[in-house]
Amino acid sequence: MEEQLYRRTAVRRIIQIFGQIFTVALTLLILSNLTEANAQTKPEVRLVLQITIDGLRADLLNRYKNGFGKGGFRFLMEKGTYYTNAHYQHANTETIVGHTTLATGTFPSQHGMIGNVWFDREAGELAYNIEDPDSPIIPTRKNESKGEQVDPAQKKSRTQGRSPAAILAPTFGDGLAAYYGGRSKIFGVSGKDRAAVSMAGHAGKAFWFSTNTGDFVTSTYYYDTYPDWVSQWNAQRKAARYSGKSWSLLNDASAYLLAAQDDRPYEVDLKGYGRVFPHPFGKADDKLFYTRILVSPVGDQLTLDFSKTLIKHEQLGQDEIPDYLSISFSGVDAVNHFFGPSSLENEDVVVQLDHSLANLFSFIDKTVGLKHTLIVLAADHGMADMPEYMTALGFKAGRLDPDKIVAAANKVGQKFGVDEIVRFFYRPYLYLNDEKIADAKLDRTKVEHAIANALTDVDGIALAVASSRLSAQQTNPLIEQVRNNHHVSRSGDIYIIQEPYWFLFDKGPIAAMHGSPWRYDTHVPIIFAGPTIDVKRVHRRVHPVDVAPTIAAFLGMTPPGSAQGSPLEEVLE
């Protein structure tokens, strides 16, 4: 009996010992896996490279993929996590709105960039998004003020000063600067001022291409004088070297999907630039010379060259503290405005940009190492095909006349006993005359709703949304997009949404326009590539507000302060 008890006790003890050994081994295995997982979620990233392609509608990557090489778009699409169903959630899909949303992870209702231009009620005039009289542009040469801007929005500017002062939310770059105690180097570069400034944030430095001089410029917000390497780059006059040259197709015309889309009567001839290839830039002393450079692949190539020089001289990605560089390429958007997104010009500018990206990634690999670089690619908005093109395909579309919109609204005002009840209209916002409404002792809500209802009946307008309607619970997704775009002190009283493919813009030499809540304007690509990121193609619905929180999570940081997006789980797995 005692012997059996002894044996049972011994067996239990052996089982306990083996159980303890197994538990220790399992614990070590779990800890090992957790350590490995933690290492994967915190890779040694030395450079965050955020690429924004202005106006790159998401479907263009699939449309032109047969013309891509291995090192540019195809590299990202085949080596990274590629989101094919990303859509902006705000209504006014314009450059400053999309860039600032990517930078902050929040909506225009929070970051304040409701459009490229808005009406300043207090000043009684239009305001350009990043203008700042206290931060003038630093001159690079005597003829700084000569020339014209490619983007009509810049002509609305009251001052040539530029800064992020009007951006009301912190960006990822701002958070990176705070996290590393100011040791991270943060830069934004673009062909457009607002694309560079918004992505650089408040803590970074920004440079952009001047269509006045062909130089890359900045303002006193960032520097007192230009760094030597910038002055040396500008002194080479690289843009001026294209004087007397033309934009020609990269490949033989037979290699292009849209070879037959070269000469269409509704494309815009930019004062001698022509509607067919080759497109002559003209002479360097032509006031539109540098504008034409930007409306071509050359503008992107110059942006690339300047960015590579910046990486080299600012020593980005050369230590354990992560740096940040945003490069926004403007050529696709500029070309789209004059030739449309279904033109041969659009196809060639995207194909040539593919070569520029391959060049950039090769340079990054040699100087920083792709294994130390997190690459993020997205677009700030898409682009609508021209109404004439869609009409030829059988779809009813047209061009809205801003004067007729104002006249229709004023007609409603007259029924309330008020002449010229509209104070100002700049798409997409109609601003009412507060003083006249108050003097007439009118119910403002009733006035807004009456005008909105009347405008909704105008041919070409899908919906006019009164601001007073935005406080109520809504199930209409269009109204939700308008709400996300609404900032209390900058937005107008009535938001105008055009019918699909209808053109809503000022009169002028612009063939195609974005800025609507329709899917061709909201649909953009989002791709993450870098260390530990799996190769995946994800079709679930995601949003550009998710980009900044995902970058922050990848680096183990808190999202930007006002961010409303969520980290993308596929990138972090």
pLDDT at 517: 98
154 and 294 co-located in one domain: yes
Sign of the Cα pseudo-torsion (304, 333, 299, 326, in order): negative
* Of 156 and 357, the one with more pLDDT: 357
What rounded mean pLDDT belongs to the chain? 91
76 and 192 co-located in one domain: yes
Tell me how far CA of residue 163 lies from CA of 5, 72, 199, 204, in angstroms: 85, 32, 11, 11
Assigned domain for 507 exists: no
383 and 406 co-located in one domain: no
552 and 431 co-located in one domain: no
If we measure between CA atoms, which residue out of 429, 556, 531, 424 comes closest to residue 488? 429
If we measure between CA atoms, which residue out of 498, 95, 511 comes closest to residue 340? 511
198 and 279 co-located in one domain: yes
If we measure between CA atoms, which residue out of 355, 247, 236, 234 comes closest to residue 292? 247
253 and 124 co-located in one domain: yes
Q: Is the pLDDT of residue 472 over 90?
A: no
CATH number at residue 443: 3.30.1360.150
Task: Please tell me the distance from the alpha carbon of residue 252 to that of residue 12, in angstroms, as a whole number.
Answer: 82
* Of 152 and 37, the one with more pLDDT: 152
248 and 270 co-located in one domain: yes
Tokens representing 524? Answer: 């953009």
Assigned domain for 512 exists: no
Assigned domain for 18 exists: no
Q: Tell me the mean pLDDT in the region 334-348.
A: 97
93 and 156 co-located in one domain: yes
pLDDT digits (tens, 9 = 90+) for 199-243: 999 999 999 999 999 999 999 999 999 999 999 999 999 999 999
476 and 338 co-located in one domain: no
Under 8 Å between Cβ of 505 and 512? no
Task: Please tell me the distance from the alpha carbon of residue 69 to that of residue 361, in angstroms, as a whole number.
Answer: 13
Please, what is the angle between helix 344-367 and helix 331-339, to 10°? 180
pLDDT digits (tens, 9 = 90+) for 258-300: 999 998 999 999 999 999 999 999 999 999 999 999 999 999 9
211 and 348 co-located in one domain: yes
Instruction: Compute the CA torsion angle 317, 77, 378, 552 (nearest 10 deg).
Output: -50
Domain housing 438: 399-499
pLDDT digits (tens, 9 = 90+) for 363-376: 999 999 999 999 99
Least confident of 267-276, 393-402, 507-516: 507-516
Under 8 Å between Cβ of 246 and 281? yes
Q: Tell me the mean pLDDT in the region 73-99.
A: 98
Q: Is the pLDDT of residue 8 over 50?
A: no
Q: Is the pLDDT of residue 441 over 60?
A: yes
Return the residue matching tokens 């044996």: 7
pLDDT at 573: 87
Query: If you count them, how many residues does the chain have?
Result: 573
461 and 495 co-located in one domain: yes
Assigned domain for 425 exists: yes
Under 8 Å between Cβ of 159 and 200? no
Q: How confident is the model at residue 475 (pLDDT cuts 50, 70, 90)?
A: confident
Q: Tell me the mean pLDDT in the region 163-183.
A: 98
CATH number at residue 129: 3.40.720.10
Question: 72, exposed or middle or buried, with CB in 10 Å at 0-12, 13-18, 19+?
Answer: buried
Q: How confident is the model at residue 42 (pLDDT cuts 50, 70, 90)?
A: low
104 and 69 co-located in one domain: yes
Assigned domain for 443 exists: yes
Task: Please tell me the distance from the alpha carbon of residue 91 to that of residue 486, in angstroms, as a whole number.
Answer: 9
Assigned domain for 508 exists: no
Assigned domain for 33 exists: no
Task: Please tell me the distance from the alpha carbon of residue 315 to that of residue 559, in angstroms, as a whole number.
Answer: 26
Task: Please tell me the distance from the alpha carbon of residue 54 to that of residue 383, in angstroms, as a whole number.
Answer: 10
pLDDT digits (tens, 9 = 90+) for 11-23: 444 434 344 434 3
Q: Tell me the mean pLDDT in the region 320-325.
A: 98
Q: Tell me the mean pLDDT in the region 406-430.
A: 97
* Of 68 and 28, the one with more pLDDT: 68
Domain count along the chain: 2
pLDDT at 471: 84
Q: Tell me the mean pLDDT in the region 150-166.
A: 81
Q: Tell me the mean pLDDT in the region 496-524.
A: 93
pTM over 0.85, yes/no: yes
Assigned domain for 153 exists: yes
